Amino acid sequence: SGGPDDMPAEIWDKVKNHPCYSEEAHHHYARMHVAVAPACNIQCNYCNRKYDCSNESRPGVVSQKLTPEQAVKKVLAVASEIPQMTVLGIAGPGDSLANPKKTFDTMRMLHEQAPDIKLCLSTNGLALPDQVDEICQYNIDHVTITINMVDPAVGEKIYPWIFYNHKRYTGYEAAKILHERQMLGLEMLTARGVLTKINSVLIPGINDEHLIEVNREVKKRGAFLHNIMPLISEAEHGTVFGLTGQRGPTAQELKAVQDACMGGANLMRHCRQCRADAVGLLGEDRSEEFTLDKIEEME
């Protein structure tokens, strides 16, 4: 069957069995995340470091951190229990590319030991341009970059600091470096044929009107999907925006921005913001069945 909106056939062909990209596939194919990447190289105002990276994951969740060896053991155990498991992602609990050794050790072992599993990762993009070669080397075929702005004046309201080239940057300068690295990373990935999805967190009053421009810029640079997610800002999720108590969008506000971006990069509307150690079909979380103790028992 055809792809959503105006997705070109050759891209649809690559993603139709991917639960995160195809409305149809997410009923039949499973994915899992392994939480091997604890560190982060930037600070988002909406992040609470006690919990998983909220750029890709469900807010307020603490995942069980694994070493690369434990992660590989877990993936192989899950793949033998859940035959529909086709996709393995690294999405935290920090930034996958701020932990390059842990992330790429895991990817290399899986590439060797389970070559049929599709690999993906998500990142804030700061370290991305330096790591495109390694991404291609292990055949990682999908990357998600969280891009919340294409204007550092907007960005400095979202990111208080970044850590780059052994130095901490703040304010406009930090947001400008992050923006330039995100755009460069996106261009490099699409030039190498790596499917790249963009996540944006909709923050009312900060980037709501600006996301149309983000949509235009990422589409121009070859992003194949743009996923606009709501800021979830509730004390019980551990996410308060800076000190200001920023609210999240209403369902109508979210839909209005998603609608305004139609005809731009294809929009994904069924992303569930899964936990960094999610296991199973989307909307079904079997992570409790595959904790480390249980996997050791299975052997």
List contacts with ligand SF4 (CB under 6 A).
Answer: 20, 31, 40, 42-44, 47, 53-56, 89, 91, 94-95, 124, 271-274, 282
- Kindly report the backbone phi and psi dihedral angles of residue 104, in degrees, each rounded to the nearest multiple of 5, phi listed first: -80, -25
Report the nearest approach of ligand SF4 to the CB of residue 92 (Å): 6
* DSSP string of 85-130, one letter each residue: EEEEEE--BS-GGGSHHHHHHHHHHHHHH-TTSEEEEEE-STTHHH
Place of tokens 């604890």: 38
CB of 277 to ligand SF4, least distance (A): 11
- Asked if 33 and 249 touch (Cβ cutoff 8 Å), the reply is no
Residue number with CB closer to ligand SF4 (40 or 198): 40
Q: Are 51 and 60 in contact (CB under 8 A)?
A: yes
Comparing CB distances to ligand SF4, the nearer of 56 and 217 is: 56
State the Cα–Cα distance between residues 235 and 86, nearest whole angstrom: 35
**Minimum CB separation from ligand SF4 for residue 244, in Å?**
17
Closest to ligand SF4 by CB, 200 or 273: 273
Peptide bond into 93 cis (omega under 30): yes
User: CB-wise, 142 or 219, nearer to ligand SF4?
Assistant: 142
Nearest-approach distance from CB 20 to ligand SF4, in angstroms: 3
Measured from the CB atom, the residue of 190 and 298 that comes closer to ligand SF4 is 190
- DSSP letter assigned to residue 267: B
- Could you give the angle at the alpha carbon of 43 between the alpha carbons of 54 and 154, nearest 5°? 90
| Shortest distance, position 176 Cβ to ligand SF4, whole Å | 17
